[in-house]
Structure 1
Amino acid sequence: MYPVKFKPVPMERIWGGHALKSMFSVDSEQPIGEYWVVSGHPNGMSVVADGPHAGQTLTALTERFPEAYLGQSPQPRFPLLIKFLEAEADLSVQIHPDDAYAQANEGDFGKTEAWYVLDAKPDGVVNYGHSFDSKASYQAAVANGHVRDYLKYQNVRAGDLVYVPARTLHALLAGTKVLEIQQTSDVTYRVYDWDRKDENGQGRALHVEKAADVLQYGVEHAKMTRSVLRDDEKLRQSRLATCPYFTIDELLVHAQVTCPLGHKGNPDVIIAVEGHGQLSCDVDGERHTLRLKPGDAVLVPGTLSDYELIPDGEMTLVRTFY
């Protein structure tokens, strides 16, 4: 089976922007907040862009070739949803449920996610966590319009990894662009939307009671620590995050290098962040090569043992697997 690239799925969002449109060849006057580049979720299904499987959905691909494109997955579908996000304005303050709550109440999986920061303001921050000490204090803050008084913040800059486990209150804020890797899920509970109103004077729907169910009080979430796995003339490989749902590596590729799969028998996803190059591999005695440019995401089948990354000079990639 061959590595494949998908057509990006752009999503209009009121907080979105225009800077990433050229990267994804999007012609629209509306603000685009999200570009889903690998997705098996019905709300934004990926379709293979070219090659022998052109036109097939990711779901069709995993059903037809499960050994290659699904492997041992924690979900019956492809378990990772990968997006580029551009926040020209603040996102709502929100929270995602864990698997148990989402499956019981939404018929979907929970959402643990991580943000690889592509760009941020010099003084860039994100909302990460809160200081509510009980459900009662949370409900009182919502009723009195004081939610923002309880929000905690974390500084961010390009190259940072922010790990956001399910049940963490959070929000991307204006001026931030990220690559997001998450469980395949589309369940979000909005807690606060900065008092925004539409042209009719209406605010977006909030989900304060469900959020109260999944909020954790008095809990400090552990942050991931970057560790260097390899550093030589060809590759600097840093482990950014590992959790039950995914592992994330940053690859700074200086010269042609061979990479084994992250988890034998399961697919890799390679996402190009900066620079250009190629991904190359042997399939049944034939050489197959895909060009890489920023914004590309390649699903590498788990039936391969390894693949080669060949930069045009240097390139920065993010690799994730489960």
Structure 2
Amino acid sequence: MYPLKFKPILKERLWGGTKLKEVLGKPIKSQITGESWELSGVDGDISIVANGPLKGKTLQELISEQGEQLLGKSVVERFGDEFPILIKFIDAKRDLSVQLHPNDALAKKRHNSFGKTEMWYIMDADPGAKLIVGFNKNVDKQEYVQSLKNNTLLDLLNYEEVAEGDTFFINTGKIHAIGAGVLLAEIQQTSDITYRVFDFNRKDKDGNYRELHTELALDAIDYTKKDDFKVSYNHEPDKVNSMVESPYFKTNFLELNQNMQLRIEDRDSFTIYMCVGGEAEIANATGRARIKKGETLLVPADSMVIDIVTKGAKLLEVTI
């Protein structure tokens, strides 16, 4: 199977803007497009192939027809016919809600879903743009609930000013929010389960407050202050630099100024490339495809060698 590109699934959001078009070239017309789902196996939002002979096929159809060849034997053994990763670009013109995600056990029990561990790579940030990640001190459930009643939750939260290249790993249970002015790449478990706990008292286009999940969140939150979210990684050019290695996905950073060949016959996993800068042509023995900043590519697991041809590119490489 050749390297596969997919049609972006564009999502309007209350907090969205226009950077997905202006910076990443996405085909949007709305002024509030917040997300581009690049690679999705979520029910109702299944990605569709955009290139080559398989154009028009859904990701789910490919998994049914080419399971191990596409995903890898070990991935199929673990996840069956579920695609385990959801890939997005996110543009926050306004602050996202303060939220968190349940772990696998809780998500399975309540929603028959995976939990949602995720990571963020900052692609662009307005001056002073920030993220909310975790608490600024240890709190307990009682103090947290009281802060909701007093409308003082924001006083308990940790704020991180961000710049291009900053990377964050968000464990399940960690309270968080993407702040206004941030454009980022998101890699996460395949799950759309979010517990929204504060939304800045704002209303949607119909004049309604968005639903909060206060009670559901109480047993899902990690109330302890932790400094485990900022990812430190090497930026050595023309090398594979490890960023995140978790049970759910592994992510590397490649800043290439020249061509690179990777032997992956022992990987036993698909490989995803998110282009976060420049452009590159990526090939295996069966075919090739070009990606530029803001595009994503899936290299099937049956590939033995990946050739990356470029004069300059920044890539996130994601595997299981």
Instruction: Give the TM-score normalised by the residue count of structure 1.
Output: 0.92
Within a 5 Å distance, the mapping from 1:113-132 to structure 2 comes to: 113-130=118-135, 131=137
List alignment gaps of at least 5 residues for structure 2: none
Aligned equivalents of 2:201, 2:87: Cα separation in 1:
29
- Secondary structure of the residue aligned to 2:144 is helix
| Cα displacement string for residues 58-90 of structure 1 (whole angstroms, at most 9, x for unaligned residues) | 111111111122222243311000000000000
Please state if 1:267 is matched with 2:265.
no
Determine if contact 1:68/1:266 at 8 Å carries over to the other structure. Answer: no
| Cα 1:33–1:310 shift into 2, 3 Å | same
Amino acid at match of 2:6: F
Aligned equivalents of 2:6, 2:309: Cα separation in 1:
20
Following superposition, the deviation at residue 237 of structure 1 comes to 2.6
Q: 1:189 aligns with which of 195, 220, 231?
A: 195
Following superposition, the deviation at residue 29 of structure 1 comes to 2.7
Determine if contact 2:14/2:204 at 8 Å carries over to the other structure. Answer: no
Determine if contact 2:265/2:303 at 8 Å carries over to the other structure. Answer: no
| Cα displacement string for residues 152-204 of structure 1 (whole angstroms, at most 9, x for unaligned residues) | 11222100111001110000000000000000000000010011123554311
- Secondary structure of the residue aligned to 2:127 is coil
Aligned equivalents of 2:9, 2:94: Cα separation in 1:
20
| Cα 1:219–1:100 shift into 2, 3 Å | farther
For 1:305, the equivalent position in structure 2 comes to 304
- Secondary structure of the residue aligned to 2:21 is coil
Determine if contact 2:12/2:30 at 8 Å carries over to the other structure. Answer: no
Please state if 1:149 is matched with 2:155.
yes
Aligned equivalents of 2:223, 2:259: Cα separation in 1:
48
Following superposition, the deviation at residue 227 of structure 1 comes to 3.9
Aligned equivalents of 1:263, 1:170: Cα separation in 2:
36
Determine if contact 1:261/1:268 at 8 Å carries over to the other structure. Answer: no
Q: 1:215 aligns with which of 214, 221, 224?
A: 221
Following superposition, the deviation at residue 246 of structure 1 comes to 0.7
Q: 1:257 aligns with which of 255, 260, 273?
A: 260
| Cα 1:4–1:201 shift into 2, 3 Å | closer
Aligned equivalents of 2:273, 2:291: Cα separation in 1:
10
Amino acid at match of 1:169: I
Determine if contact 1:262/1:268 at 8 Å carries over to the other structure. Answer: no
For 2:51, the equivalent position in structure 1 comes to 50
Determine if contact 1:8/1:24 at 8 Å carries over to the other structure. Answer: no
Determine if contact 1:224/1:241 at 8 Å carries over to the other structure. Answer: no
The more displaced of 53-62 and 85-94 is: 53-62
For 1:159, the equivalent position in structure 2 comes to 165
| Cα displacement string for residues 256-302 of structure 1 (whole angstroms, at most 9, x for unaligned residues) | 1102339611110011111122112213xxxx221111122111111
Aligned equivalents of 1:260, 1:200: Cα separation in 2:
53
Aligned equivalents of 1:27, 1:269: Cα separation in 2:
24
Following superposition, the deviation at residue 209 of structure 1 comes to 0.8
| Cα 1:253–1:262 shift into 2, 3 Å | farther
- Secondary structure of the residue aligned to 1:5 is coil
Q: Give the number of aligned pairs.
A: 314
List alignment gaps of at least 5 residues for structure 1: none
- Secondary structure of the residue aligned to 2:219 is helix
Following superposition, the deviation at residue 26 of structure 1 comes to 1.8
- Secondary structure of the residue aligned to 1:103 is helix
Q: 2:283 aligns with which of 277, 280, 283?
A: 280
**RMSD of aligned C-alpha atoms?**
1.8
Aligned equivalents of 2:205, 2:86: Cα separation in 1:
32
Aligned equivalents of 1:268, 1:277: Cα separation in 2:
15
For 2:38, the equivalent position in structure 1 comes to 37
Determine if contact 2:97/2:177 at 8 Å carries over to the other structure. Answer: yes
Aligned equivalents of 1:197, 1:38: Cα separation in 2:
30
